[in-house]
A and B are shown apart, each in its own frame.
Chain A
Amino acid sequence: MSLIEFKVGASGVQNVPFSVLRADDTADPALMPDIPESDLRALYRTMVLTRAFDARMFTLQRQGRLGFYLACTGEEAATVGSAYALKPEDWVFPCYREQGCYLWRGVTVQEMAHQCYGNALDHTKGRQMPVHYSFRAQNIVSISSPLAVQLPQAVGTAWAAKLRHDPIVTLTYFGEGSTSEGDFHVGLNFAGVYKTPTIFFLRNNGWAISTPREVQTASENFAMKAAAYGFEGVLVDGNDILAVIAATQDAVEKARNGGGPTLIEAVTYRVGSHSTSDDPSAYRNEADVKVWEEKDPVQRFQRYLAKRGIWTPEWEAELQAAVKAEVDEAVQNAEKAAAPTPETLFDDVFAEMPAFLQEQRAELLDSLKETR
């Protein structure tokens, strides 16, 4: 069933990431997943849109127009490619650096911009920091700042679907730093015990703010940890979108057919900072970053598409213009939209507002009347 033959190191551990794209920018025909040309174009467009949105939001924060932002630059292949392997009815439990996934699943940059601005049109009603999205229509759950809490939750949803005999899978994203949290162990352990249809998608981007990967684990890699929980772990080139798609499709098919969970370690790199509050020049060598910029996932995919005659400079110009217009409009609308009204502060704490919250709401509104 599996296309993937893993390259095993001397220790018996797979230590060479699975890849489909070759050094000459062609795909290994034996490993190439079946992707229609229209999808290849859409995947590339989503990667470009993700990068453009990230770049704009980052700039807006630097200009003082946005409170905070967190880009996924360099990790577009990992998040767009893994999302491609899912069906709309599947559920996603994000970490907080998976913009590519949301856009692939049909979330618009407009919805994302509204959330980042915390305005009245934001689905989360201005209650969470920028990038802490929640998209019910796309089965994307609410993003938490505490790390790895989403892993047991993703297992719970997969477990519930299994009990209901619904053929869905859950996919949860997290970084390599999250593997040090207790909830990483908890999530993988429950998934293994109950054989839930869960894909643990680990973006190993090398850094947890300033803490390098070596400080998180003494293991040879992260994928091998799955063995301890009784299921398969695979190591994938996270900057090769075709490899990410192939590996995730394999894991999804296995999960959907009752084969249980998989841990996918996508090896990638956080080319930018952790967030707008971070300055990576304080702790890492810019020469290392250069190496990874040369492995840029968008560029690699572009060169592959060019070889196949799908990508042309004319299409790129068209695409960049369209993406810029889309982001421009989203930002303009988000900046224009009103803030949530003060009375909404008390909504959604409970299903029905109890008397004590009604009282506090009245107190706030009275106090605002007096101060205005």
Chain B
Amino acid sequence: MIIFDFVPMWTLILGLAVFFYVLLDGFDLGVGILYNFAKTTNDRNLLMNSIAPIWDGNETWLVLGGIGLLAAFPLAFAIILPAVYFPILVMLLALIFRGVAFEFRFRDVEHVTFWDRAFGIGSAIATFAQGIVLGAFIQGFDVEGRHFVGGSFDCITPFSLFTGVALLFGYGLLGAGWLILKTEGPLQEQARRHARICFLGTFAAVGIVSLWTPLVDSGIAQRWFSWPNIAFLAPVPLLTALFGFLEWQAIANPKSELRPFVYAVLLFCLSYFGIAVSLFPMIVPHHYSLWQAASSPDTQIFLGVGTLFLLPVILVYTGWSYWVFRGKVRADTGYH
């Protein structure tokens, strides 16, 4: 007997966890991508120090998101993960390299260049792999019964490769926004140049994906362009255009230090919302809805009690740790 429908609550929790992951690890992966273009060791120190205290906390959201999917929508977990077998593998291996680089880089002074590359290239590869996962997810999978029945390389398509590249620009934009906030002088100017390139790439990619998906998927076209949806949903593209314009201005304005990051976050919010609108209520596109893939109500209640208690604690702690490490980052602080 179901007394109360917990699926909307878990959809919200999981949606938030995934979004926090995309946002938080997004900007520190973005800093990692831009790390490839840093010119001096001093610049590299600054870039790394700007995310060193918080990156591992950011990455924990990946675990919470993954286990959250298993806990709330196990059928989706069991279908989607095999379907993106190789992108997940590549992402995990790249994240390992990038994660240990934080520790190994400064303890291993003789081999600085190897771990520097591990950090920069690892960040880029992890991002690209996540973009492929996103593209493959939007396109959907071959499913029979409760199993994925396609091949492990089916997820590599022109569309998913495109979303892979798009996410490189997107995370790059978040990372550049973060660096504008955390650095000053010539390094900040460089971050603004990177932000401009990444913004153009991101904005173009968002536009292309927004046209591509309705063209290949009549369901998505129906969702967006049928009356009255078109009236309710019109603000999404309009706001995207507005925030894009404001982002462009903020990047160019030397006095704007926080706004480039904030508008980049808002652009991510809108893109995320747009994808959610396109796919809702399906969690395995074309096959299973959120309700069909949900775990048993007993499971949702048992885990919900603790989650509703612990999640706010985690959010407060996360906020506090960002507060502790606020302000401009300097290269010369550290162990003496």
Q: Determine if chain A interacts with chain B.
A: no
